[in-house]
Structure 1
Amino acid sequence: MTTTALYEIETHEADDGTTHPAEQLWTPCLDDAPDNGFIVHRGLYVIGIDGPTGDHLYPVGFIALGHHQWTDIIEGATAYMASIHGWRNLHLYPGDDPSVLIPRIPRAAQTHGVFLRHLHPDHPCGCEWEGTWRMVWAPPTEPGAVPVTALRHPAAPATAAGIPNPDHEAMPATWAA
């Protein structure tokens, strides 16, 4: 659902030669965020995200709509794991060996993202991805960018989620308080 590259809206060519957007900008809102996989926990809209490879069984990270404190995103991520996967321990993935110690929860980053919905509703394609969405990291000045708070799952490798790191990347981000 996420990628580390800055976004560029994809297009496709119709039979008559006209170009149409393959995706549209979308912003999850109160009405449709829960229908698209977000949970609402104490007013915080949280979802588990996969990494750029898209091949993980459980979330490798979490995003919350808006900029929030680190403790709030941890609580929201724990609520997401409990609600979606029936697991209250944020330190491990369901089924992991509890004797494996994961000593710290990673820091949360406040950044921006653009939500893209495939396919543009005016030009349906009928493919398996139709009606799905993805988020890409974006500078705050990018049209359609919304503030998000991102947190890597503690059991995921540091590089798995592709979440911007304010200490090491050019992507605009700050550490959550």
Structure 2
Amino acid sequence: MTAPALYEIETSEGDDGTTHPTEQVWTPCADGTADHGFINHQGLFVAGLGSGTDDDLYPVGFLVLGHQRWADIISAAATYMSRTHGWRNLHLYPGNDPSVLIPRIPRAVHTHGVFLRHPHPDHPCGCEWDGTWRLVWAPPTEPGAIPVTAMRHPAAPAATSSVPNPDQGAPASWAA
């Protein structure tokens, strides 16, 4: 789902030998966010992030469009879990044992990302990924990069979410 390196638009060759993009850069807007997995929580648009494996039943992280306060992303993430998965507790995944030690809520980061939508609408491929998007972390100067706030789900192992870590040199800063 995410990658630490700069993004590259994938291309393929058509029947006539011409190269065309297989993905397009998607710029989020309020009108199209629901179609791409975002919910509106008090004016913030939040989505769950998968780890990129097929066995994710629940998000391993959360993404809010724009640079937001840490408290606001916690509230938005809890609302996302409630609306999308019918679960009111942000600390545990649905079905987890409540007697297990509950991890602290990780810090949110301000960073930038590029949304790549598959496939390019002018060149549909008919694969299982049609109409889906992926997020690639990018520096703010990268074409198509937009400001986002990201946070790992408290129940997800730190290694699965790949949210940028400012302490390890990622192009991000800690949310206030």
Q: TM-score per shorter chain, which class?
A: over 0.9
SS of 2:158's equivalent? coil
> Which moves more between the two structures, 91-100 or 127-136?
127-136
TM-score in terms of structure 2 length = 0.96
Q: What corresponds to 2:13 in structure 1?
A: 13
Identity of aligned residues (%): 72
Q: CA deviation at 1:3?
A: 3.2
> Which moves more between the two structures, 96-105 or 145-154?
96-105
Q: Does the 8 Å contact 2:4/2:138 carry over to 1?
A: no
Which consecutive aligned stretches of 4+ in structure 1 deviate over 4 angstroms post-superposition? none
Q: What corresponds to 2:29 in structure 1?
A: 29
Aligned pair count reads 176
Q: Give me the CA root mean square deviation.
A: 1.1
1:159 alignment partner AA: A
Q: Does the 8 Å contact 1:114/1:145 carry over to 2?
A: yes
Q: Going by fraction, where is helix more abundant, 1 or 2?
A: 2
Q: CA deviation at 1:136?
A: 0.7
Q: Does the 8 Å contact 1:52/1:161 carry over to 2?
A: no
TM-score in terms of structure 1 length = 0.96
Q: What corresponds to 1:171 in structure 2?
A: 170
Q: What corresponds to 1:76 in structure 2?
A: 76
Q: What corresponds to 2:140 in structure 1?
A: 140
Unaligned runs of 5+ in 2: none
Unaligned runs of 5+ in 1: none
Provide the C-alpha distance between the structure 1 equivalents of 2:17 and 2:164, rounded to a whole number of angstroms.
38
Distance verdict in 2 for CA 1:125–1:103, change over 3 Å: closer
Q: What corresponds to 2:43 in structure 1?
A: 43
Provide the C-alpha distance between the structure 1 equivalents of 2:95 and 2:59, rounded to a whole number of angstroms.
14
Map residues 140-159 of structure 1 onto 2, 5 A cutoff. 140-159=140-159
Q: Does the 8 Å contact 2:7/2:138 carry over to 1?
A: yes
Provide the C-alpha distance between the structure 1 equivalents of 2:124 and 2:35, rounded to a whole number of angstroms.
20
